[in-house]
Structure 1
Amino acid sequence: MDTPPINQWKTLDKDLGRIGRLELATQYVARPLVAPGVALAFVVVVAIAAAVFSGGSPDRLLVIAAAVFGAYTALNIGANDVANNMGPAVGANALTMGGALLIAAICETAGALIAGGDVVNTISGGIVAPEALGDGRDFVWAMMAALLASALWLNLAIWLGAPVSTTHSIVGGVMGAGIAAAGFMAVNWPTMGRIAGSWVISPVMGGVIAAAFLAFIKPRMIYATDKIAAARRWAPVLVGIMAGAFAAYLALKGLSRLVRIDLGTALLIGAAVGACTWASSVPVVRRQSIGLENRKKSLKKLFALPLVISAALLSFAHGANDVANAVGPLAAIVDALGDGHADASVQIPLWVMMIGAAGISFGLLLFGPRLIRLVGSEITRLNAVRAFCVALSAAITVILASALGLPVSSTHIAVGAVFGVGFYREWHAERRARAPGLVKGKEVAPEERTRRKLVRRSHMLTVAAAWVVTVPLTALLAGGLFVALRLIAG
């Protein structure tokens, strides 16, 4: 048999190579479309479910449209808000991105379905008086406009890379739609004033508390001569404080559906859980610290597991509380279409709650990684100890705000805590550099110290600007959408 020439298949090989490159290019182009495609499929499934659960209602189309808007809002809440809970743990390398997404999806869904509020103020905490919207149809258009406006703003904020408050987004939407429907007198302006005040209060409280814990840890553990002995003494105390804070946080904010607990009782529960956790952590930390070297890196291992647990608990509490931002207006629409008028509060049906829970989880899995990276690593560099301070600050700040009667945003608290840790690191590094005049054995000039910033100012300006415009922008957008929807409906 004759041997075929070496180049006999050369032309065919070139053609196959071109086809292979074309397939790779197609896959590269199509990859960004996968997440929007899955999100669209979820919205379609929600529309079908709404059609089934609305039965033979004459307003079935309105219920379906409201469910679609609610699903869209829930997707954006998952993509935006959950980054604040998981970002520090991922940035500190205590969790991989995949592990964070899985834990958050499970805990968010569990929080929404187990402890999600069964009663929600349909006018978003008294922003607009229900009687001002008298006509049932106007109420429906107002709630739909509020949902769509908040979702559109959240979508834009995600694209810009700005973690904003979903609570403030929906509040701004309800306010704007209420003004368009019934005028400025329909709005409860004292409540709006307190919410505006929380723009400053939330991040400042979160940042100060996180920085205070880092300031406590550095001299007692990080710069201690015997770091392992210091860790055996102080790590159980800090873990106990964390456990107590989260126990009080969940008792106060996350379990309202199961049992009503006042602030004093929640603090007692937190104190008891904290004491028990401290006592049980002492032998655990002692075992974990055996064989560890006397250096900073060893301390990070002791805080990794508490950091993961705190991220999971924050996600559970977020699912329990913020799911109402997506499904509260939807539940109000379903209730109004059922009895023809707007009530001060409504029961959220299970199928509506499931839309919110599933939407938050899908939004997180499909679009969450970008903001998780921003919060976890692009504002300032986090390790397990710093991220632990951020998570602990989030829980304690919510408890303090509840005690003071201040309306705060979990988003603003968490991001403020990250900035607080970063700015404390800057101050501390500058203080150390000035005192001995040395950093890692090298002389550092003042201008060089000025250049070495540990917090990215560009992110700070972007986030601050997005926070400031959230309520007025969503209000204007919702007002315009309300007018458009009412005109379309005739």
Structure 2
Amino acid sequence: MAKSALDKDLKKVVRIEHATQDLTRSLTTPGLLILFLMGTVVVASLSVAQGPLSYLVVIAALIAAYMALSIGANDVANNMGPAVGSRALTMGSALAIAAVCEASGALIAGGDVVKTISRDLLRPDINLPPIHFVLVMSAALLAAAVWTHLATFLGAPISTTHSVVGGVMGAAVAAAGIKMVVWPVIGAIAASWVISPVMGGLIAAALLGFIKWAVLFREDKISAARRWVPAIIALMTGIFTMYLVEKGLSRVWSPPLALIIGSGLVAFLAAFAATRPWVNARSHTMENRRKDVSALFTLPLICSAALLSFAHGANDVANAVGPLAAIVSTAAGESSTAGDVELPFWVLLIGAVGIAIGLALFGPKLIRRVGEQITKMDAIRAFCVALSAAITVLVASALGMPVSSTHIAIGAIFGVGYLREFLTNKGVPNPAVRPRSLFLEPSKLNKTPEQAIANYRKRERRKLVRRQHVVGIAAAWVISVPATAMLAGLFYALMATFAG
């Protein structure tokens, strides 16, 4: 009796502890958000020179903070999702690594200047009055943030760059008509809806196919791993070195092509020399199984995910604070449509901190969707997705093609999933078709024709990619630009009304 009473009391204590943890967690999220937004207001108020547009700059800083939170919640999932889905990283480790690398990329390589999105999308010969330009950028940021927030809530990974593009387009049209927009740029962005996922999927599938053919399908997997894994990891090191030099540091340094290629080659050779003895040492304790060979890719996968996050922070922080930098420049009496604008440190800091907080508070939902709910991941498949993202961006940059890192990553996940499905179902017939051999030679199977057909139809094809996500994600991509354009037009009209 005493023991039973003690057990009940202990259960009550455990329930109270869990309730306390849930309450603490529920209070932490709004508390941290309020603290971040209040800090944004204080920093903006202290950093902006007093003038007729200074209050609009503070409001725009708040909107940019909201956009940074939304980017952290949505965009970063593409880098960390496969690593979490493959169990190479726990959710907590992925959030910590991504937050540090995203913020580091933004602060270290975010750059002193940004090419404002208005420079590419808006005609410089049509000058908007300063207050209207500020309202256009503010409406564009708010529309992009709201749409990204909605997409995250619905579990759809989207391109935040395209969201900002749609926002600028819609607000500019509302302010000055369709003549204000450079429409060929919009056409190139629409083309990337197809180019990005197709390139990412094909390259990821090709990488996975090569690893399967060269290592996993071999009878002696350990010997094959010793031969090929060092070269594959060295390839990753070389590619990511070029990726970081070309993209991750592009806002602070523009090296020549020969230096980019040379740095990649040196990194490849150094990584090959270092990786070969590491693989040989680990392979001595391995069993001749796929699972053991796959473990060799865990550390390279974690490194690649961290590097992708660094490059993402360096590049995509501009989606959150690029329009804010243009607003700050305009409020100071400078032109923001003719060229580059200065990126003050306080503006960059808002973007970096906002992305990290958004990731920590709201990132897990989309990380699980990307890493676990589209197709099953392991270390090798996730490694191919990460490496494909870097290769695709480099190839597209060399060819001058517009691509989206989000679309590339999702396309790569679908690519490895469909390749697995193809290889798994290879030789499995379509159950809706009855081959003539079943009727011509049923005696060879020692079965009647009816039995042969019944057994034939039992061999169903396996579906290793969730089809419903294909349709949902593709739909979110296609409507991102028009949706944010309509929202931005509405927000601009409301802002213009209140601004007088």
Scaled by the length of structure 2, the TM-score of the pair is: 0.89
For residues 424 and 444 of structure 1, what CA distance do their matches in structure 2 show? 26
Q: 1:380 aligns with which of 375, 381, 390?
A: 375
For residues 447 and 261 of structure 1, what CA distance do their matches in structure 2 show? 59
Scaled by the length of structure 1, the TM-score of the pair is: 0.91
Q: 2:352 aligns with which of 342, 357, 368?
A: 357
Task: Name the structure 1 match of 2:114.
Answer: 120
Contact conserved, 1:134 with 1:342, CA < 8 A, in 2?
Answer: no
Task: Name the structure 2 match of 1:407.
Answer: 402
Look up the equivalent residue of 1:414 and give its one-letter code: A
**2:70 corresponds to 1:59:** no
For residues 444 and 460 of structure 1, what CA distance do their matches in structure 2 show? 32
**2:333 corresponds to 1:333:** no
**2:414 corresponds to 1:419:** yes
Matches within 5 A, 1:7-406: 28=22, 31-32=25-26, 34-124=28-118, 126-339=120-333, 341-344=335-338, 345-406=340-401
For residues 241 and 340 of structure 1, what CA distance do their matches in structure 2 show? 45
Contact conserved, 1:133 with 1:182, CA < 8 A, in 2?
Answer: no
Task: Name the structure 2 match of 1:439.
Answer: none
C-alpha displacement of 1:18: 9.5
Look up the equivalent residue of 2:460 and give its one-letter code: R
C-alpha displacement of 1:19: 11
Offset from partner CA, 1:146-184 (integer Å, 9 cap, x none): 000000000000000000001100011111111111111
Number of positions where the alignment pairs a residue of Structure 1 with one of Structure 2: 473
Farther-moved stretch of structure 1 (284-293 vs 157-166): 284-293
Identity %: 55
**2:449 corresponds to 1:449:** no
SS in 2 for 1:88: helix
For residues 351 and 217 of structure 1, what CA distance do their matches in structure 2 show? 46
For residues 406 and 220 of structure 2, what CA distance do their matches in structure 1 show? 37
Contact conserved, 2:72 with 2:358, CA < 8 A, in 1?
Answer: yes
For residues 444 and 225 of structure 1, what CA distance do their matches in structure 2 show? 30
C-alpha displacement of 1:185: 1.3
Contact conserved, 2:119 with 2:336, CA < 8 A, in 1?
Answer: no
SS in 1 for 2:460: helix
C-alpha displacement of 1:124: 4.2
Residue ranges of structure 2 left out of the alignment (5+ in a row): 431-453
C-alpha displacement of 1:274: 1.3
For residues 311 and 20 of structure 1, what CA distance do their matches in structure 2 show? 37
C-alpha displacement of 1:462: 1.0
For residues 293 and 428 of structure 1, what CA distance do their matches in structure 2 show? 24
The 1:226–1:335 alpha-carbon spacing in structure 2 relative to 1, beyond 3 Å, is: same
For residues 80 and 455 of structure 2, what CA distance do their matches in structure 1 show? 35
Look up the equivalent residue of 1:153 and give its one-letter code: W
C-alpha displacement of 1:61: 1.5
Matches within 5 A, 1:409-488: 409-433=404-428, 445-446=456-457, 449-450=460-461, 452-488=462-498
Look up the equivalent residue of 2:68 and give its one-letter code: A
Offset from partner CA, 1:178-215 (integer Å, 9 cap, x none): 11111111111111111100001000000000000111
What is the CA RMSD across the aligned residues, in angstroms? Answer: 2.5
Contact conserved, 2:112 with 2:252, CA < 8 A, in 1?
Answer: no
Farther-moved stretch of structure 1 (77-86 vs 251-260): 251-260
SS in 2 for 1:339: coil
Contact conserved, 2:139 with 2:491, CA < 8 A, in 1?
Answer: yes
For residues 310 and 479 of structure 2, what CA distance do their matches in structure 1 show? 28
Offset from partner CA, 1:221-245 (integer Å, 9 cap, x none): 1111111111011101110110111
SS in 1 for 2:297: helix
